[in-house]
Amino acid sequence: MLTRNLQIICIAMVICLGCFYQARRLRLSGEIGTAMQLIGRAYVEPVEQRQLFDSAMSGMLADLDPYSSYIPPVEYQPFQDFLRQQFEGLGVSLEGPPNVERLTVVAPLSGSPAYKAGVEPGDIIMEIDGKSTEGMTVADASKLLRGPGGTSVRLQLQRKNSDVSKPSELITLDIRRAAVEVESVVGVKRQRDNSWEYFLPGEDAIAYIRVDIFGEKTSDEFKKALEVVKPKAKAIVIDLRENAGGLLPAAVDMCDMFLENGSIVTIQGRQPEDKVVYEATPGTLIAEDVPIAVLVNSGSASASEIVAAALRDRGRAVVAGERSYGKGTIQQVFVLDGGRSGLKLTTAKYFPPSGANIHRSPRSTDKDQWGVLPTEALQVKLNEEETRLLYRRWRVAESPVSELDKITNAEVKNSDEKQATDGALKSADSLSESLNDDPVLKKVVEYFRGERKAKE
């Protein structure tokens, strides 16, 4: 009888303690609700309760770490669209202040409503549905351009080299929005049939594949690109510069295409038992004797660093460029508000096969270990002008009708004319000429050539 009574007392104590701590949590939640009511009732200006809630949620996560955040309803759908690589709108990439004076079209996505309507790279958007774009940011313009499929938006455009002072030279287009697929894997340049050319110019048979983000379709896109280059590629360049990351499974899948076995990345949560090791599965898409280089820079983060570090640590690739960003944490998105908002929360850290620290803390210095460092012989840091030319190269390459053809043809023509007048001049190396605006890629090509000669 005494034993039974002691059991009942212990159970009651546990329940009481649970209720006590639960009450403390509920009391704090209640205080937040009370504060919102007080502000809504007594603040000098009217304030929407939704606005107060969003601000409270944002403030709650602000002091945790730079990557944990509240995603309010206005941002949640674009966030999901980004990872799904699909959205409803016009399908046009833009550049705005402060990079350019006025909202400018970088390029319409191939096959998008904007492309079909005749929007061209370099077009300046003067108005969106009658609203002037003067001082308008890309983010503000995106909100106006996106919308349900089937609805229309009116653009007033100033074509490149036209006179804005002459209204007759402005172009007005009514474009119907539709679902737009976003590519995450691209090549050297888009061809006239909208497929991608993945081989760099010249006879070296060097394949070049650039990955912009790690989204839901990235693995399939990357696999298709590898299948295109596999028959004749003598070397492969994977460009992850300015790739801020995305989905962990996409990064793991990409590494698995090159690794026969062994670890790719280890994920460690708060508790010791919250540990997951991702390993390669048997079989590769590319033969092990095909050399690989991964390009990174200070904009390469998270999933990009997982790929670069894994292939480097496993001896499958060299790394070129400059030190990567240093984001060694994993975020999980928790759905809130019936799927209308979300909570992005840092739940784990990751470590490459070597176990090296990737994460850069606020106290880290350049002498500390963080990020992914390039192979010493392949370290290249671009200056401001070189970075600008690299971005231009990427923009030109993604245009439906690539201007790269015109540039290359002009170079060849000039070279031929010079040969005609100066017989002593040697024939220019077209591959090197076409890489003058990308010193990192040029360095890697020279590295591959040197390695090949050393083996001969």
- DSSP-assigned letters across all residues of 331-398: EEEEEEGGGTEEEEEEEEEEE-TT-------TT--TTS--S-PPPGGGB----HHHHHHHHHHHHHHH
CA-CA distance, 446 to 438, in Å (whole number)?
13
Q: Is residue 327 part of a domain?
A: yes
pLDDT computed for residue 35 by the predictor? 79
247 found inside a domain: yes
> Do residues 171 and 279 share a domain?
no
Please state the φ and ψ torsions of residue 117, each to the nearest 5 degrees: -80, -10
Judge contact between 90 and 103, C-beta under 8 A. no
When divided into structural domains, the chain yields a total of 4
309 shares a domain with 205? yes
Q: Which residue has the tokens 């929407």?
A: 48
Total Cβ atoms within 10 A of residue 188: 23
Residue 36 CA, distance from chain mean position: 37
Cβ atoms of residues 133 and 76 within 8 Å: no
Q: What pLDDT score does 167 carry? A: 56
| In contact, 445 and 431? CB cutoff 8 Å | yes
Q: Are residues 419 and 278 in the same domain?
A: no
- Same-domain check for residues 287 and 171: no
Whichever domain contains 157, its CATH number is 2.30.42.10
Q: Which amino acid is at 221?
A: E
**Kindly report the CA angle at 239 between 197 and 444, in degrees rounded to 5?**
90
Residues 211 and 305 placed together within one structural domain of the fold: yes
Same domain, residue pair 352 and 260: yes
User: What is the model's pLDDT at position 427?
Assistant: 30
Same-domain check for residues 42 and 126: no
Question: Do residues 189 and 336 both lie within one domain?
Answer: yes
How far is CA 409 from each of CA 122, 386, 402, 406, 416, rounded to the nearest angstrom? 21, 22, 12, 5, 10
Residue 5 pLDDT = 52
pTM for this structure? 0.79
- 211 with 354, same domain? yes
Q: What is the span of the domain harbouring residue 44?
A: 26-55
Which 8-state DSSP code applies to residue 91? Answer: -
Mean pLDDT, consecutive 10-residue segments, the chain of 456 residues?
53 50 55 80 85 85 88 85 85 82 82 85 91 89 88 90 63 92 90 88 93 94 97 97 94 98 96 94 96 96 97 98 96 90 94 96 92 96 89 77 44 42 33 75 94 80
CA dist 11 and 152 (Å) reads 65
Q: Residue 333 forms beta bridges with which residues?
A: 344
